[in-house]
Amino acid sequence: MPHRKRFLIHLAIILPLLLLTLAWPGAAPAELVSHADARPLMGTLVTVTAEGSRRDVLEQGANAAYREMSRLSDMMNHYNPDSVVSAINRQAGVRPVTVPRELMEVLVMAQRVSERTDGAFDITVGAFKGWRFNPENPAMPSAQEISRALPLVNYRHVILNQKNRTVLLKQPGMRIDLGGIAKLYILNAGMQVLKQHGIKQAMLNGGGDVTVMGTHQGRPWRIGIRHPRREGELLATVELTRGWVVTSGDYERYFIRNGRRYHHILDPRTGYPADGPQQVTLVGNDLSHLNGFSSAIMVLGAEKGRGLLNRLAGVEGLIVAPDGRVWATLGMPHRFKFLDSGR
């Protein structure tokens, strides 16, 4: 559970975007009803907005979606000592651990992203245990602690046996942290539950990562992309009837020390926060082409990130460089509306 102040900050960020979608004008059928809910989950605030003809179906679907997302979050949360991920970490260098199908799917996805990014994305950054990005009570490991942890960070030492569904961390002391890849998988699972309840129009928002299906009051869903340096302002908006808007940035969880910003996206090569863009936003329909890559681009930097983004099939995106300049793929002007006040 996040701290109360952080929860209120998330609420202040999410509610305007939620109201933005709810206030979208359009000629909706008279019988259309809407259900919106927001609950703390995965260290952030997850909102479910659904539309249909029966309010009871929408409420039941949303409740079922939250139950499924909570189940998966409990399974994959390394802070939870009873989670499967914690069991894997405890058995590092000792024995393989049998895992559920869903967790194996996430681990395979993480492995593929690591391979495509030459390790810029690496779930074994969990070995860097001394970081705490709560601005009210921050903490950072010593240089000696980071130096000792560096040999334990190597995605190639996560041994997956997909046939037997087992996972082994080769070295004692290794730890995996799925924070950079599990959330989208979990949001997608929530969306699948909504579909199983017959819901065809919905939006899920998990701390700025958004997936939608169908329309909103007869029009595409409109999603706001926050400005990385101007709190309360939007950089751009995008309209979708299907797919994802995924964002990584240095402003979500961070603290300032001696004039330097320390944020939660760690560079596996150094053990310190990535010294890359302020923000990366990706848009696309296929989760496997998006998940993990925005974090990887934060590590790779703006120049290499542009090259990677141009190679991702079916993905458009934008990168806000350290100096605030915005670069976008060629298709972005057709999907995004940049706001003058946000550039």
Is residue 93 within 8 Å of residue 170, measured between CB atoms? yes
For residue 158, the cross-strand partners are 169
259 labelled as ligand-binding? no
C-alpha–C-alpha distance, residues 82 and 259, integer Å:
38
- Rounded to whole angstroms, what are the CA distances from 85 to 40, 89, 235? 21, 6, 36
For residue 256, the cross-strand partners are 261
Amino acid letter for position 107 = L
C-alpha–C-alpha distance, residues 206 and 183, integer Å:
8
Contacts of 147 (CB under 8 A, 6+ apart): 271
Burial 236-263 (b: 16+ CB within 10 A, else e): bbbebeebbbbbbbbebbbbeeeeeebb
DSSP readout, 178-226? -TTTHHHHHHHHHHHHHHHTT--EEEEEETTEEEEES-BTTB-EEEEEE
**Left, alpha or beta for 207 (phi > 0: left; psi -120 to 50: alpha)?**
left
C-alpha–C-alpha distance, residues 301 and 6, integer Å:
28
295 labelled as ligand-binding? yes
Integer distance in angstroms from the first to the last C-alpha of the chain?
34
Question: What letter does residue 86 receive in the DSSP assignment?
Answer: H
Binding-site members are 180, 295
Binding-site members for Mg(2+) are 180, 295
